[in-house]
Structure 1
Amino acid sequence: METGKSERTLVRAGFVLFLLALLTGVAIPLFLNQKMALAAHLTGVLNALVLIALGLAWGLVVLGPVQARLTMGLFLYGTYVNWGTTCLAAAWGTSRLTPLSGAGYSAAPWKELVVQVLLLSLVLAMLTGAVLVVYGFRPSASRARAGLARPLSSP
């Protein structure tokens, strides 16, 4: 995957998510659980910043082509699903995995299950993506990026 294209994709996706988060903020009064809607708005803003930062740092992350595509996909999935799931939780009034923002609300068991599955999947995606990015910043990867074929030896 071409580095310039990946950077642009991540930054653009970040700004699209930022716009969606702003629109969520405007729509807070329309949600069943307005406290959760505020959480959705803030989640969207913060996840947008994560995508923008990752896009700007993408050229520094040293990963193979498959790892790079996986990392990008995990972050795109995790950030958008985080915002979308929090919006669903606000609209449906779910509370099982969100006891602070969802206090006083309850939803049909199937709605709670949908939100639970989505939240757990996005947590796994974001954790895996973060591990891959940290791996891409490992010292040996930095040396490889600088053109050094072997690790530096001490004098």
Structure 2
Amino acid sequence: MSETRTEHSEKSSEGFRLMPTDVASRLLHEIAEPRPVGDTVKAAITRAANAMNQFLPKERRVSYGRAEDIWRREARRIDAAEMDAIRSAHEHRNRTLREELRAAAALADRLERLAAQAIPSTDLAALDEVVSTARQAKRTARALRDLAAAERRGL
């Protein structure tokens, strides 16, 4: 019988572990989202660096080059202040997205109520179309909220 050798350790304590540079890179990528159509990587890195710099003192701000090194996982180390700024920018982004999703759901509810009040009950086709659109907007807002929650759990 031939013995199969693997490159992985049999010890569970030596399992796969994300390095701080991997975590920082992943968070920077998420900070740059959502990326508009036609967005360049350079623009995304600049956006992420600017978001990160909001949480750093002026004398500790990161340059585009440093942000690019983190983005591409080429940084040899991540300073604690940099990691704190990245995490703060990421949390700020998530909080902003949650607020926007709540606002979208509230807007869809208001649209449905206003449509029911504004459209005469005799015009059932128009009422049905507006109510259907409002319900789709609510479903979309819920789907985006669920997607954001799944993304948070994935990290």
**Shorter-chain TM-score tier:** 0.3 to 0.5
* Structure with the higher fraction of residues in helix conformation: 1
**Which has the bigger relative contact order, CA under 8 A and spacing at least 6?**
1
What TM-score do you get using the length of structure 1 for normalisation? Answer: 0.35
Structure ID, larger Rg: 2
What TM-score do you get using the length of structure 2 for normalisation? Answer: 0.35
